[in-house]
Each structure stands twice: as C-alpha cells, then as structure tokens.
Structure 1
C-alpha cells in the first residue's frame, strides 16, 4: 500500500503545492500555507549486501512477497542512530543469522520507483554455507558463484555486477521479473572510468 504525506507535521494544516525560489530556481513542492513547513520528500536510505562466504559464493534470497524463482540481495532500511556500516551488519545478522567479519563499500544507486537510495556493501561472513537461518521475511536462499550469478538492471543488480567483475568475471544480466527488459542502463553499466585515473568514474549528465 502506498502512503502520501498530506498534512503538515508541524501544525497539521493540509499541505499545498506551492512554488518557491530555491538554490536551483523556482521549485514546486508540498508546503504548509500556514507555517511555511516544506515536505521535501527526500529518498529513504536502504542498505544492501553482497554476502560472500569463504568459498567465494554470494548469497541470494527470495522475499516472501516475490514470485517463485526471483532472488535478490539482502536489504533493509537504515535505522536512526546507526551508521551504514553498522546497519548492514545488523541487517545481515537479522535476515540470515550470519556474522559479518569484513565489509567494503560497493557504491550507491537510486531506486526512483520507491523513492529510495541504495547503499551497497560487499560483506564477508563467518561460518558454513548451511549456517543460514532466514528471517520470516525470506522464504528460501541459494549460494551462487560469480560465473553462475545473473544480475538484474536495477540498483542491487549493479552492486552484484560490481562484485562479479571484481572476481575477474564479466557480469551477465537478465530480467528481474518476466516482462522486464534484461538490458542494463548504459548510464550505469558498463562502468565508465575517468581516463586520467581509473579509480574515478565519470559523473552522470545533469538534467
């Protein structure tokens, strides 16, 4: 179910679409005509993890709300008062029962349909592959090698592609669900390094 903000969180007056001058020019946003509060509608931070075991396999899991055969990364919302690093370690433990022993940042991607920003990590976990204990939100899981993994053309799919390429394997893409395009966004994949220093990527084109 989708929810929308309709009332001012400061004085409870119904919000209206009001145009005001901002740093980028005149912008129309939901604003309170009584007290001037602005509902910015900023994206929600969501954490994601490519969970790797000591055999070099990545963990994919199926959410209880997804159709059969659809698997993705371990994800969850960052909570107030925690860092992204603490949050992803907590999410991995809660969703899989596995302890993170090392982690590194993979990157961040937008998920416009849900107004979210994805912050993705590559984490190494302790234990054996069969030590996984899924939370009630997840129905099943599988461990996949870089060669067998298939990425999807959306935020977490690009995070998985980064992990696969770091393993020396060229990522293969496919549709996340039937009827969706299997092709990656050319603005996001393949990576476009800066010619003067390959550690940097070229910036996106601003509208």
Structure 2
C-alpha cells in the first residue's frame, strides 16, 4: 500500500477553491457599466475590514451578510463578479471595525466571522477563523469571500508605486492600480506555494510540526516557489531543506487560493527516495514517519491534531490515508 495509485484524486472538495459567480473581467474597465451596477438596488455588497466580514449562521451552515449599495459605507470598492441571474457583487473595504455603526442595519442573528489576513506562514494558527468560516459557507459565498479578502490584503500593502513611490490610484473595479506619476500599471499579486505529502515504499507518510505550533499539531510540508524554479523543483528543494529527505516524481493533485495574504497552494504527492530525517530547526520542530495504522490511532486518541478540513493539507493527508479522519486544529 506504500505506492499511491496514479489515478488517485483528492478525497473531498477543496473548500477555498469554490465559486458561483463570473468574475466579470470584461466589465472592470467599463465605467458606465460599473456605475449602473452600483446604482442597481439588486446589487449585493460585502463589507470587509482588515479581513473581517459579517456572516449569519444557522444549523451548522453559514452565509455572507450582504448590503444594498445605498446601505454600504464609504470605502474602497472592488467588483467581485456577476452571478447567473445577472446580480452584481461588490466588496467595500472599510477602516471602521465591524459590526458596522448605525445607520447601517445588521439583520438579526448576524455575527462577526474573523478572517485573519496578515499571516506570514501557510499554517499559522491565526488563520483558523477563515478555516471555520470557509468550511461552513456555500460555493458562491466561499468564492466571494476569498476574492474579497485577497483584494483587500493586496490593496492594503500596495498603495505606492514600486518605481517612484507615488501613491497609486485604484482602477479596473479594484483589480489594478495605476501610478499617476509614471503611468505604470500594477496588478494583484499571487504567490505560488507548493504543499506536499511525502510518502515512502513502506506505507508511511511524513508529517511535521512547525516551531511555533503547540505539541501534537502536525501537517504536511510546504514552501514558496522561488524565481526561476519549476513546481517540481520547488517540491524537492523544500522537502530536502526542511527535513533532509530526497523525493522523486512529484505528482500534482490540485490547488486552492489561500489569501494570507496572497498565496496559491499547489498540492502534490511525492515519493521519498531517502527516509532519514534531518530537520532544519528554524523551519521544523519535529517530523516523523507514520503508517496508516499509526496515523489513524494517533488522531483517534488525540496525540496528533491535523489541519482543518478547509485546508488543502487536510485533503492531501486524508487522500493518502484513504478516508476521512476525525478532529482538527
């Protein structure tokens, strides 16, 4: 059972790779269309502040709370898309904390769902608010929220031209910034990061714990792709740098956005060609090989806590294991 079948697909959906609206890129530079859409009372507006938004929860499910354009507060405005019924969706980024002050009404049962945006590492515990909210949201709302948070995070950190330092202007429905001084155009960044489950020929997978994580919290390995590097090269380099294990034939399984603040996680399986572990203490506190039986028992008795179901890491682990596992962070 050590070799993963070549036709293996991910077990379960990638919960942050969902969506239900057309991103409407053709309308982003059409000022007349944008003005008309904003004036339409059917248009829905998602208000975000520092990665926070408003949701309503009911019987284990969640949905975003939208406002009409005339109810929305002032703030930076981003076009998120148009649904199959022709309804336009915008995000408005505000600087005032949520819940919103009067006169903006909040429907009964509304609560604040924290979606932390300034997370330096793909597995930082501060992102658990998004993991919980993303898993409970439907396809449309999950896609809208990830898009909105990613755009807000980019705009918050790219207000000035990298060439001359002038303050840039937001255009194209929030999908571009233009420098008024030198005319240069700047687009939202996406940073590719590989995330990989390493397995060997003895029915074992490799899990690791970051130095900042508490005892018992384990996940797969991950790291950013460097300039001039292929995804497969990044997989091999990151695994060797972090745990001293060599791998071959990385196999791509899927991807999902992770807006903390702008990552795209690219999931792989990789076959180990060596098994001796030599951790980089700056990156990894401990790492271990686990058989399927050992992993199942450790999760069942609480010795190991896995990433939440909204993460691609959890999908990789459960795909290798062959079924869903209980519990998470």
TM-score (norm 1): 0.70
Measure the CA separation in 2 of the matches of 1:73 and 1:173: 17
Measure the CA separation in 1 of the matches of 2:269 and 2:233: 13
Match of 1:133 among 257, 275, 278: 278
5 Å-filtered alignment, 1:117-196, equals 117-128=264-275, 131-136=276-281, 137-147=283-293, 148-149=295-296, 150=306, 152-153=308-309, 154-164=311-321, 169-176=322-329
Measure the CA separation in 1 of the matches of 2:182 and 2:199: 50
- SS in structure 2 of the partner of residue 114 of structure 1: coil
1:11 matches 2:164: yes
1:146 is displaced (CA, Å) by: 3.3
Greater strand fraction, Structure 1 or Structure 2: 1
Greater helix fraction, Structure 1 or Structure 2: 2
1:5 is displaced (CA, Å) by: 2.5
Match of 1:90 among 237, 256, 260: 237
1:78 matches 2:235: no
Unaligned residue ranges in structure 1 (runs of 5+): 21-25, 177-207
Measure the CA separation in 2 of the matches of 1:48 and 1:74: 6
Which residue of 2 is the match for residue 99 of structure 1?
Answer: 246
Measure the CA separation in 2 of the matches of 1:80 and 1:92: 17
Which residue of 2 is the match for residue 45 of structure 1?
Answer: 192
1:12 is displaced (CA, Å) by: 1.7
**Conserved 8 A contact 2:235-2:250:** no
Moved more, 139-148 or 2-11: 2-11
**Conserved 8 A contact 2:208-2:285:** yes
Which residue of 2 is the match for residue 197 of structure 1?
Answer: none
Mark the CA change 1:87 to 1:28 in structure 2 (over 3 Å): closer, same or farther: closer
Aligned length: 164
TM-score (norm 2): 0.46
**Conserved 8 A contact 1:49-1:121:** yes
**Conserved 8 A contact 1:47-1:84:** yes
- SS in structure 1 of the partner of residue 260 of structure 2: helix
- Per-residue CA deviation, residues 74-108 of structure 1 (Å, 9 max, x unaligned), is 11110000100011111111111111133211211
Q: Cα RMSD between the aligned structures? A: 2.2
1:30 is displaced (CA, Å) by: 3.5
Higher relative contact order (CA 8 A, sep 6+): 2
- SS in structure 1 of the partner of residue 287 of structure 2: strand
